[in-house]
C-alpha cells in the first residue's frame, strides 16, 4: 500500500508553525508497514489544493490529509476533497448530531458556521471527534482510500489511533514487512555517559537500529526492528533490550508512552503508599505531574506550595531559626519541609524542593539553578543538592524530574 500525506494550511507555508503532525502520521504508517512516498504541504487555496489532491489520488492507494476542517472560511478541505473526487458535498446528519452534542455537552453556543462542518463528501464515513467540533471523514472506494482529519494534534492523533489505524488493519488486511519500535526511557544519566556505557552495542547495531535521543531531563533509546511479522520484530527488539538492560538497567524507568509520574503512580498504588509535596521553587509542578495520572487521589493526599517564608513556617513547621541561620534555600530547610509535610499530611512519603529557579535571586554562594531536594520516609530523610543550568522553566522541570526519579528509586 502506497500512501501520501497532505498537510493543509497557509500558516505552514508562512513558517508560522512546525508541522509535527506529518512526522507522527509517518511513524504510524511505518509501523503498519505502509510505504509513505510523498508528503505535500499546501495552503488554504482551492485551486492548488485541488491539484495536489488529484495528483495524490492518482499516485497513491491511501491519502491522509490534515487541517482545513474548522468552521471558518479558510477551511476548505471538505469542499475541495468533494471536488477532487467528483462527489457532492452533502449534509451528514450523524456529523451534525455529533457537533450539536459537543456544543450541548460543553454548554457552549453553536453558531451557523459550525453547521458547515457537517457537510461531507458523499459516501464519507464520519470519524468522531471527542476533542473538538470538527468531525473527520474517510472515503474508501475503488479509486482511493482518503481520510481527512483536523490539524489540531490532539484531535488528529485520536482519530488516527482510534479509527483510521484499526479500520485499515481490519478492512485492508495489511501484511508484508512490518517495522516495530520500542522506546526505552532513562532518567538520571546524561546522553554521552549513557552512550559510553553502550558504545560497542551502538557500533554493532544492524537490526534493530538503536538511536539514543536526549530530551529534557531524560534520555530515550529507540530500538527499531524490521521483520516479516510483528512477533518476529518484537523478538529482535526484546533480545537487544535484554543486552541493554544489563548495562543501564538502573536508569531505565519505563518504555514507550510511559511517563515518570505514571510509573511512580503505579508503584505507589501497588504498595498502597501515600505521598504529599512541599514545593517552593517548583511552584506546584510536582503536584501537577503527580495528579496528571488518573486515580491520583489514591496516593496523592495534598501539596503545599510554600513560596514565602511565612508559608513555610505556617504550613510546614519550618522554624524561623532554620530560615534565619541557613536560609530558605538550604539542605536544612528542605529537610524540615519534607518532614513537615509528611507529618502534617499523615502520609508515608513527603517530598520537598527549595531552590533558585532564576533568572534573578542568585548569589555567589547560592547561584541560580541551586536546588535542594528532600524525600522523607519511615526510614528517615534524604536530602540532595543539585545545580542545574538553564532557564527558569528548565530548572523547575529538571527539579521535578529528579525528585520523581528519587521517589521511584525509593520504591524498589
Q: Which of residues 89-148 bind a copy of itself (CB under 8 A)?
A: 102, 105-114, 130-133
SS3 content of the chain, % helix, strand, coil (to 5): 45, 25, 30
Q: How far is the CB of 123 from a copy of itself (least distance, A)?
A: 27
Interface stretch with a copy of itself, choices 168-176, 230-238, 263-271, 282-290 (CB under 8 A): 282-290
Binders in 237-266 for a copy of itself, by CB under 8 A = none
- Min dist CB 204 to a copy of itself, Å, is 11
End-to-end CA distance of the chain: 47
State which of residues 50, 172, 392, 409 lies at the interface with a copy of itself (CB under 8 A).
392
Which of 90, 94, 315, 331 lies at the binding interface for a copy of itself (CB under 8 A)?
Answer: 315
**Cβ of residue 171: shortest distance to a copy of itself, in angstroms?**
23
**Among 81, 147, 304, 334, contact with a copy of itself (rule: CB under 8 A):** 304
Residue closer to a copy of itself by CB (options 169, 193) is: 193
- 43 CB neighbour count, 10 Å cutoff: 16
Using alpha carbons, select from 239, 236, 242 the residue that is nearest to residue 224: 236
Min. distance of Cβ 5 from a copy of itself in angstroms?
A: 8
**How near is the Cβ of 195 to a copy of itself at its closest, in Å?**
5
| Residue 373: all three cell numbers together | 531536594
Helix (H, G, I), strand (E, B) or coil at 104: helix
Chain centre to alpha carbon of residue 398: 17
* Angstrom distance (rounded) from CA 26 to CA 21: 9
302 binds a copy of itself (CB under 8 A): yes
Residues in 349-378 that interact with a copy of itself by CB under 8 A: 357-360
Candidate residues 140, 301, 343, 382; the one interacting with a copy of itself per rule CB under 8 A = 301
User: Residue 81 in contact with residue 124, Cβ under 8 Å?
Assistant: no
**Contact letters (x/-) for a copy of itself, 9-48, by CB under 8 A?**
-xxxxxxxxxxx-xxxxxxxxx-----xxxxxxxx-x--x
Q: Give least dist CB 2 to a copy of itself, A.
A: 11
**CA-based max dimension of the chain:** 80
Residue placing its CB nearer to a copy of itself in the complex, 139 or 338: 338
Cβ atoms of residues 395 and 410 within 8 Å: no
Q: In the set 76, 81, 227, 290, which binds a copy of itself (CB under 8 A)?
A: 290
Binding span for a copy of itself by CB under 8 A among 84-92, 204-212, 373-381, 403-411: 204-212
- Complex with a copy of itself: residue 123 or 211, whichever CB lies closer: 211
Pick 39 or 409: Cβ nearer a copy of itself: 39
Closest CA to 386 of 329, 344, 315, 316: 329
Whether the CB-CB separation of 5 and 36 falls below 8 Å is answered with: yes
Q: Least distance to a copy of itself from the beta carbon of 198, Å? A: 10
Task: Assess contact for 23 and 155: CB atoms under 8 A.
Answer: no
Three-class DSSP category at 374: strand
Sequence-ordered list of residues with C-beta below 8 angstroms from that of 395, at least 6 positions apart, any chain? 281, 355, 356, 357, 358, 368, 369, 371, 388
What DSSP element (H or E) covers 204? Answer: none
- 141-180 residues in contact with a copy of itself (CB under 8 A) are 152, 154, 179
DSSP of 282-342: TTTHHHHHHTSSTTGGGTEEEEEE--SHHHHHHHH---HHHHHHH-SSSHHHHHHHHHHHH
Piece in contact with a copy of itself (CB under 8 A), picked from 88-96, 166-174, 216-224, 373-381: 216-224
CB of 78 to a copy of itself, least distance (A): 15
Contacts with a copy of itself by CB under 8 A: the residue count is: 118
The neighbouring-strand residues paired with 91 are 119
Amino acid at each position: 500500500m502506497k500512501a501520501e500525506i497532505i498537510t493543509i494550511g497557509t500558516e505552514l507555508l508562512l513558517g508560522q508553525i512546525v508541522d509535527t503532525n506529518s512526522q507522527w502520521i509517518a511513524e504510524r504508517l511505518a509501523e503498519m508497514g505502509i510505504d509513505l512516498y510523498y508528503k505535500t504541504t499546501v495552503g488554504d487555496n482551492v485551486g492548488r489544493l485541488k491539484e495536489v489532491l488529484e495528483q495524490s489520488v492518482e499516485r497513491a492507494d491511501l491519502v491522509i490529509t490534515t487541517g482545513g476542517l474548522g468552521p471558518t472560511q479558510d477551511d476548505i478541505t471538505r469542499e475541495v476533497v468533494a471536488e477532487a473526487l467528483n462527489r457532492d458535498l452533502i449534509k451528514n446528519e450523524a456529523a451534525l448530531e455529533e457537533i450539536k452534542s459537543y456544543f450541548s455537552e460543553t454548554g457552549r453556543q453553536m453558531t451557523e458556521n459550525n453547521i458547515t462542518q457537517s457537510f461531507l463528501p458523499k459516501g464519507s464515513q464520519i470519524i468522531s471527534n471527542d476533542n473538538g467540533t470538527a468531525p473527520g471523514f474517510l472515503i474508501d472506494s475503488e479509486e482511493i482510500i482518503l481520510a481527512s482529519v483536523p490539524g489540531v494534534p490532539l484531535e488528529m492523533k485520536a482519530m488516527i489511533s482510534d479509527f483510521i489505524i484499526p479500520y485499515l488493519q481490519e478492512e485492508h488486511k495489511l501484511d508484508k514487512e512490518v517495522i516495530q519500535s520500542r522506546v526505552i526511557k532513562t532518567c538520571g544519566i546524561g546522553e554521552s555517559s549513557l552512550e559510553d556505557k553502550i558504545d560497542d552495542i551502538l557500533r554493532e547495531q544492524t537490526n534493530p537500529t538503536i538511536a539514543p535521543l536526549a530530551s529534557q531531563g531524560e534520555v530515550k533509546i529507540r530500538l527499531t526492528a524490521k521483520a516479516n511479522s510483528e512477533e518476529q520484530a518484537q523478538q529482535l527488539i526484546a533480545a537487544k533490550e535484554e543486552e541493554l538492560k544489563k548495562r543501564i538497567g538502573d536508569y531505565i524507568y519505563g518504555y514507550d508512552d510511559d511517563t515518570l509520574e505514571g510509573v511512580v503512580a503505579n508503584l505507589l498504588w501497588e504498595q498502597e503508599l501515600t505521598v504529599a509535596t512541599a514545593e517552593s521553587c517548583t511552584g506546584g509542578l510536582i503536584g501537577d505531574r503527580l495528579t496528571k495520572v488518573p486515580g491520583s487521589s489514591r496516593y496523592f493526599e495534598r501539596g503545599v506550595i510554600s513560596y514565602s517564608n511565612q508559608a513555610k513556617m505556617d504550613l510546614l513547621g519550618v522554624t524561623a531559626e532554620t530560615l534565619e541561620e541557613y536560609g530558605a534555600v538550604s539542605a536544612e530547610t528542605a529537610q524540615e519541609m519534607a518532614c513537615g509535610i509528611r507529618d502534617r499530611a499523615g502520609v508515608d512519603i513527603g517530598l520537598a524542593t527549595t531552590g533558585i529557579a532564576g533568572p534573578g535571586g542568585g548569589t555567589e554562594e547560592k547561584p541560580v539553578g541551586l536546588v535542594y531536594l528532600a524525600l522523607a520516609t519511615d526510614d528517615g530523610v534524604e536530602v540532595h543538592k543539585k545545580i542545574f543550568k538553564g532557564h527558569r522553566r528548565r530548572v523547575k522541570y529538571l527539579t521535578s524530574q529528579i525528585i520523581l526519579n528519587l521517589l521511584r528509586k525509593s520504591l524498589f
